[in-house]
């Protein structure tokens, strides 16, 4: 028996002018205790969807249910939901402890309970020593921890985070990713996290919901999103990518014809998911492409590339070159081999099991 979803969005629509849809028929089920990230570019509908879950925006259509209760039209203060904003939204005249305790005060909890909960929340985010500090006396990361503790102190049914790390520098952002994931494991609260940062989505989530133009493109675990994107948009938005225009040849099962390059093998699993005929896009991640020497495995798909640019990242090298089918990106762990230099003509290839075909989508 499949458990009922804890949070359920059914055909959610939001329009501000009655014509254009900011959110267009979004449906998703989220399990209790799950960490789901809404990912997408600016204007894709992810934050608007989050605001409707929080109650700060009312849907134009559809329904929102939390633990079997219809929340679609209820006010934000009637929803037991914690919210963490990108700008922290801390009260400057209150200490860290008083900021954290504010939701408890508004709920008129007994003083002893307030003190106990504030103490636990401060310990959860490792800020006991900063309880009496004001926001101006705290770093950006510490302010974000205060905001996170405030969102958790009253035991909400759901925690919503709207691009909470966007104002932090790279190193601090990575530290906070680890902290948020740790806190999620300790508390076990159902969490929805909004970001346009693919790295945050990949490293923190149980599942990722990719938004585009107000609609959901794909909802899946991070590795499935990365290795088996449902569309070219998802494949290009998540990670680095090579896409080849190709066609299915119904007369040669297990093969496709890549434009300007020629035939290429597919794995049995990939071939089985292809349409009977017609155009497709073939995704090959740069780290799946490798240099091929004489006597290589005949099962590899190979092509010639003229190296145009080499970018050294320290832990890896990115080679960008020209092929008969257009630009190709190849990432190699460690340093560049001697044969790989700008201007060199090399043979590269990939294993058929490491390429993923997606159906060609209409332009626009």
Q: ∠331-337-338 over CA atoms, to 5°?
A: 140
Q: Which residues contact 96 (CB under 8 A, 6 or more apart)?
A: 122, 127, 130, 131, 132, 133, 134, 135, 138, 142, 146
pLDDT at 3 over 90: no
The matching CATH number, chosen from 1.10.760.10, 3.90.660.10, 3.40.640.10, 3.40.50.300, for 7-227 is 3.40.50.300
Which pLDDT belongs to residue 348?
Answer: 94
Confidence of residue 362 (pLDDT cuts 50, 70, 90): low
pLDDT at 96 over 60: yes
Which pLDDT belongs to residue 6?
Answer: 97
The size of the chain, in residues, is 364
Average pLDDT score over the chain: 92
Percent of the chain with pLDDT over 90: 74
pLDDT at 317 over 80: yes
d(CA 357, CA 144) in angstroms, rounded, equals 41
Which pLDDT belongs to residue 4?
Answer: 81
Q: Across residues 66-88, what is the average pLDDT? A: 93
Which pLDDT belongs to residue 288?
Answer: 95
Q: Across residues 244-271, what is the average pLDDT? A: 87
> When comparing pLDDT for 11 and 295, which is higher?
11
Confidence of residue 234 (pLDDT cuts 50, 70, 90): very high
Which pLDDT belongs to residue 363?
Answer: 57
Topology (CATH) of 240-359: OB fold (Dihydrolipoamide Acetyltransferase, E2P) (2.40.50)
d(CA 10, CA 27) in angstroms, rounded, equals 5
Q: Across residues 60-85, what is the average pLDDT? A: 95
pLDDT at 361 over 80: no
Which pLDDT belongs to residue 170?
Answer: 84
Pinpoint the residues of the chain covered by CATH 2.40.50.140: 240-359
Q: Across residues 307-327, what is the average pLDDT? A: 93
Q: Across residues 164-175, what is the average pLDDT? A: 85
Give the lowest-confidence range in 198-202, 239-243, 271-275: 271-275
**Cα-based torsion angle of the residue sequence 295, 299, 301, 306 in order, rounded to the nearest 10 degrees:** -10
Q: Across residues 82-89, what is the average pLDDT? A: 89
d(CA 220, CA 36) in angstroms, rounded, equals 9
Q: Across residues 176-201, what is the average pLDDT? A: 94
Q: Across residues 273-278, what is the average pLDDT? A: 77
Give the lowest-confidence range in 95-99, 283-287, 303-307, 338-342: 338-342
d(CA 52, CA 72) in angstroms, rounded, equals 8
Which pLDDT belongs to residue 16?
Answer: 93
Q: What is the pLDDT of residues 138-155, one digit of tens each?
A: 998 999 999 999 999 999
* 139, two tokens: 């770093």
Which pLDDT belongs to residue 1?
Answer: 46
Report pTM. Answer: 0.92
């Amino acid at each position: 028996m499949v458990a009922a979803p804890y949070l359920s969005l059914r055909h959610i629509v939001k329009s501000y002018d009655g014509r254009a849809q900011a959110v267009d028929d979004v449906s998703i089920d989220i399990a209790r205790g799950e960490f789901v990230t809404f990912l997408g570019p600016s204007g894709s509908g992810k934050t608007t969807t989050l605001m409707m879950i929080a109650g700060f925006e009312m849907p134009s259509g559809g329904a929102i249910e939390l633990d079997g209760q219809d929340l679609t039209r209820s006010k934000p203060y009637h929803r037991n939901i914690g919210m963490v904003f990108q700008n922290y939204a801390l009260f400057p005249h209150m200490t860290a402890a008083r900021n954290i305790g504010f939701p408890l005060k508004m709920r008129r909890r007994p003083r002893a309970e307030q003190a106990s909960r504030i103490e636990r929340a401060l310990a959860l985010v490792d800020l006991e020593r900063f309880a009496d500090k004001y926001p101006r006396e705290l770093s950006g990361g510490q302010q974000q921890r205060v905001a996170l503790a405030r969102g958790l102190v009253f035991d909400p049914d759901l925690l919503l985070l709207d691009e909470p790390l966007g104002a932090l520098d790279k190193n601090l952002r990575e530290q906070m990713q680890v902290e948020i994931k740790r806190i999620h494991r300790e508390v076990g609260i159902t969490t929805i996290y909004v970001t346009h940062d693919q790295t945050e989505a990949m490293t923190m989530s149980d599942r990722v919901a990719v938004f585009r133009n107000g609609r959901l493109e794909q909802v899946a675990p991070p590795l499935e999103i990365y290795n088996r994107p449902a569309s070219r948009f998802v494949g290009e938005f998540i990670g680095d990518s090579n896409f080849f225009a190709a066609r299915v040849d119904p007369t040669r099962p297990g093969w496709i014809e890549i434009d300007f390059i020629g035939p290429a093998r597919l794995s049995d699993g990939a071939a089985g998911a292809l349409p009977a005929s017609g155009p497709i896009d073939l995704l090959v991640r740069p780290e799946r492409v490798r240099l091929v020497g004489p006597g290589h495995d005949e099962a590899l798909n190979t092509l010639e590339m003229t190296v145009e640019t080499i970018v050294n990242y320290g832990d890896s090298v990115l080679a960008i070159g020209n092929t008969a089918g257009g630009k190709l990106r190849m990432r190699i762990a460690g340093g560049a081999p001697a044969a790989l230099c700008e201007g060199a003509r090399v043979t590269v290839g990939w294993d058929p099991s490491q390429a993923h075909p997606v159906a060609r989508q209409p332009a626009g």
